[in-house]
């Protein structure tokens, strides 16, 4: 096939220069497609590049661009040409897995790795841009050809190659500020830089891989200085979502350590279900969240990470609280429940996120009527998509589920447990969302077995048919919220279980659900208030200056 490629190439070059009509270029493109049909055939791939040899392999990208690329110098190739070039990158990567390879192929890879005057960085960048290559080989190639001072398109393609190998990315990416500056004026290269940073941070392979957390810590603490253009932002959100635990573990306004500089290393944050890899200062957390808080689309990966973390922390909290029900402390002391502590910490993260959104977007945008209505639709979607704390939600939780939980609890939270609230600033829709959160917590406690064995003191299961089915299970919230009588019956059931009694045993389901929601809202507000004292610009936004 290599010889056939060369013959068709020569014919195509002659056909392009001939004044007479001919189909040679078309037949050459058809041959390229036939070659690329073997991307999953390592033996074919190794034989193909082995026959071409180093010189013709390096010339392949330029052959394609010369025949099918842009007519004018400096223009980027179009999608069809990029697809061909990406295909040959993957074909070359496939060749490296041949066992044993074509005897001529290893010398090609050695020549490309060794570099030198005959190895053109532009051509090589096309060859490596999309394939998954051996880590050691890619590391050597990238170290030689990734220069912040080089052509931005070449830099972008080398970064794209590194985004497919987290270990190589961690080994090569060192001058993050220099690379960010180099790609800041090019959205495509900036996007590749973001992908490479996310890969090196362990977004895809897991943060427990060697060096991943340390790299992520470096990115997070340098974050604001690394955002050269908007194409990077969603990948910063991916990093934050992968390390949602670290953001939650570090978010304690009253903890003196939260005011200290960020530091790498495990620590005990006294929260069930967490094993944080590093501690972030509130300032670093806040500044990094600002890097992607400008749009909902950019925030989505972080919201997904927070949704997954919320599920984990809630389940861990319920397990811990069930254990305390079965084995209460000898002194009968009633400390904060695991669920309450989890919700307090999650509320603090919500406060950081909301503050970042307000600081970046401006409070006016968040008060705009169209924006408010649109966001209300997002919350409705989160409520309809399946409650985050219920096992029935299944699969990876949607980002809307976290937004529903974190935005659903409004100021004046006491209104949501009263049948007839007297707070004019709480709209009907806001009240429905807030009560949806309360339902989610209470139903989640039941669904995760909090009331099954050793039930909490004075627990009364739902009995009213308006809110309980024939098996005694709570009806879905969409049914309860649609009927004012059912809503009142639900709130009455919570009241029977201590939601409105400050003197009730704090382990009672109703009081626990109400306190968890209050803890969430309280910590969210505490964080926002604290940040307004250290960020003059955020304070101006809040004050409307």
Look at residue 424 in the predicted model and tell me its pLDDT.
Answer: 42
User: Of the given ranges (153-162, 204-213, 448-457), which has the lowest mean pLDDT?
Assistant: 448-457
For residue 442, pLDDT beyond 80: yes
63 vs 334, higher pLDDT: 63
331 vs 268, higher pLDDT: 268
| E strands present in 223-284 | 263-264, 278-279
Question: What are the respective helix, strand and coil percentages of the chain, to the nearest 5?
Answer: 65, 0, 35
Look at residue 327 in the predicted model and tell me its pLDDT.
Answer: 80
| Cα–Cα distance for residue pair 408/430, rounded to 1 Å | 7
Look at residue 160 in the predicted model and tell me its pLDDT.
Answer: 98
Helix (H, G, I), strand (E, B) or coil at 126: helix
pLDDT (tens digit per residue) in 274-321: 889 999 999 999 999 999 999 889 999 999 999 999 999 999 999 998
User: Of the given ranges (3-17, 181-195, 231-245, 397-411), which has the lowest mean pLDDT?
Assistant: 3-17
| Cα–Cα distance for residue pair 334/330, rounded to 1 Å | 11
Burial 259-288 (b: 16+ CB within 10 A, else e): eeebeeeebebebbbbebbbbbbbbbbbbb
User: CA-based diameter of the chain, in Å?
Assistant: 98
Summarize the confidence of residues 4-15 as an average pLDDT: 60
User: Of the given ranges (9-23, 171-185, 302-316), which has the lowest mean pLDDT?
Assistant: 9-23
Summarize the confidence of residues 199-215 as an average pLDDT: 90
| Residue 251 pLDDT class (50, 70, 90 cuts) | confident
CB 273 within 8 A of CB 336: no
For residue 19, pLDDT beyond 60: no
pLDDT mean across residues, the chain: 85
| For the ranges 38-42, 119-123, 228-232, 238-242, the one whose mean pLDDT is highest | 238-242
User: Of the given ranges (130-144, 396-410, 452-466), which has the lowest mean pLDDT?
Assistant: 396-410
pLDDT (tens digit per residue) in 80-138: 999 999 999 999 999 999 998 899 999 999 999 988 777 899 999 999 999 999 999 99
DSSP state of 474: B
pLDDT (tens digit per residue) in 83-96: 999 999 999 999 99
Q: What is the dihedral of CA 246, 248, 252, 255, to 10 degrees?
A: -30
In sequence order, what are the residues at sequence separation of 6 or more whose Cβ sits closer than 8 angstroms to the Cβ of residue 473? 446, 462
Look at residue 538 in the predicted model and tell me its pLDDT.
Answer: 85
For residue 334, pLDDT beyond 90: no
For residue 412, pLDDT beyond 50: no
pLDDT (tens digit per residue) in 361-398: 875 565 555 555 555 555 555 455 446 777 654 444 56
What pTM value is reported for the model?
0.90
For residue 328, pLDDT beyond 90: no
pLDDT (tens digit per residue) in 38-75: 999 999 999 999 999 999 999 999 988 888 877 555 67
- The percent of residues in the chain predicted with pLDDT above 90, rounded, is 52
| Cα–Cα distance for residue pair 445/192, rounded to 1 Å | 43
| Cα–Cα distance for residue pair 402/424, rounded to 1 Å | 26
pLDDT (tens digit per residue) in 487-545: 999 999 999 999 988 888 888 999 999 999 889 988 998 999 999 998 988 888 877 76
Residue 505, token pair as written in the block? 């045993």
Residue 73, token pair as written in the block? 């110098």
Look at residue 435 in the predicted model and tell me its pLDDT.
Answer: 83
Look at residue 516 in the predicted model and tell me its pLDDT.
Answer: 92
């Amino acid at each position: 096939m290599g010889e056939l490629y060369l013959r068709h190439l020569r014919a195509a070059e002659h056909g392009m220069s001939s004044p007479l009509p001919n189909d040679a270029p078309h037949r050459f493109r058809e041959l390229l497609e036939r070659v690329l049909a073997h991307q999953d055939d390592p033996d074919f791939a190794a034989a193909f590049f082995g026959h071409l040899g180093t010189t013709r392999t390096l010339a392949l990208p330029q052959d394609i661009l010369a025949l099918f690329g842009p007519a004018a110098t400096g223009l980027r190739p179009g999608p069809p040409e990029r697809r061909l070039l990406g295909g040959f990158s993957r074909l070359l990567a496939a060749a490296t897995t041949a066992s044993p390879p074509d005897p001529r192929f290893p010398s090609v890879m050695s020549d490309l790795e060794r570099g030198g005057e005959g190895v053109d960085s532009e051509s090589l960048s096309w060859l490596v841009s999309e394939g998954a290559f051996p880590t050691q080989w890619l590391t050597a190639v990238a170290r030689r050809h990734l220069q912040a001072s080089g052509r931005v398109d070449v830099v972008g393609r080398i970064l794209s190659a590194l985004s497919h190998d987290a270990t190589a990315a961690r080994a090569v990416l060192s001058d993050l500020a220099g690379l960010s500056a180099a790609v800041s004026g090019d959205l495509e290269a900036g996007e590749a830089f973001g992908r490479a940073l996310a890969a090196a941070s362990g977004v895809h392979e897991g943060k427990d891989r060697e060096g991943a957390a340390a790299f992520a810590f470096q990115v997070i603490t340098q974050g604001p200085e690394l955002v050269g253009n908007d194409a990077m932002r969603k990948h910063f959100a991916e990093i934050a979502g992968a390390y949602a635990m670290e953001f939650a573990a570090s978010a304690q306004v009253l903890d003196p350590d939260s005011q200290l500089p960020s530091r790498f290393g495990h620590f005990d944050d006294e929260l069930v279900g967490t094993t944080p890899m590093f501690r972030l200062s509130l300032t670093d957390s806040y500044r990094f969240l600002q890097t992607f808080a400008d749009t909902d689309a950019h925030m989505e990966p972080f919201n997904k990470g927070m949704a997954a973390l919320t599920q984990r922390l809630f389940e861990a909290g319920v397990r811990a609280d069930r254990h305390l029900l079965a084995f209460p402390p000898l002194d009968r002391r009633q400390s904060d429940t695991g669920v309450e502590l989890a919700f307090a910490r999650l509320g603090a993260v919500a406060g950081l996120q909301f503050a970042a959104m307000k600081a970046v977007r401006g409070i006016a945008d968040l008060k705009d009527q169209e924006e408010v209505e649109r966001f209300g639709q997002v919350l409705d979607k989160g409520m309809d998509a399946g409650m985050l704390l219920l096992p029935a939600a299944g699969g990876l939780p949607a980002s809307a589920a976290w937004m529903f939980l974190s935005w659903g609890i409004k100021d004046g939270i006491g209104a949501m447990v009263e049948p007839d609230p007297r707070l004019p600033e709480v709209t009907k829709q806001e009240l429905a969302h807030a009560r949806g959160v309360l339902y989610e917590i209470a139903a989640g406690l039941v669904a995760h077995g909090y009331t099954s064995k050793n039930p909490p003191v004075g627990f009364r299961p739902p009995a009213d048919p308006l809110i309980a089915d024939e098996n005694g299970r709570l009806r879905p919230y969409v049914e309860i919220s649609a009927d004012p009588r059912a809503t009142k019956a639900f709130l009455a059931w919570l009241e029977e279980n201590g939601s409105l009694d400050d003197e009730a045993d704090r382990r009672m389901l109703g009081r626990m659900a109400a306190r968890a929601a209050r803890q969430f809202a309280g910590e969210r507000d505490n964080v926002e208030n604290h940040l307004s004292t250290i960020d003059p610009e955020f304070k101006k936004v809040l004050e409307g200056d």
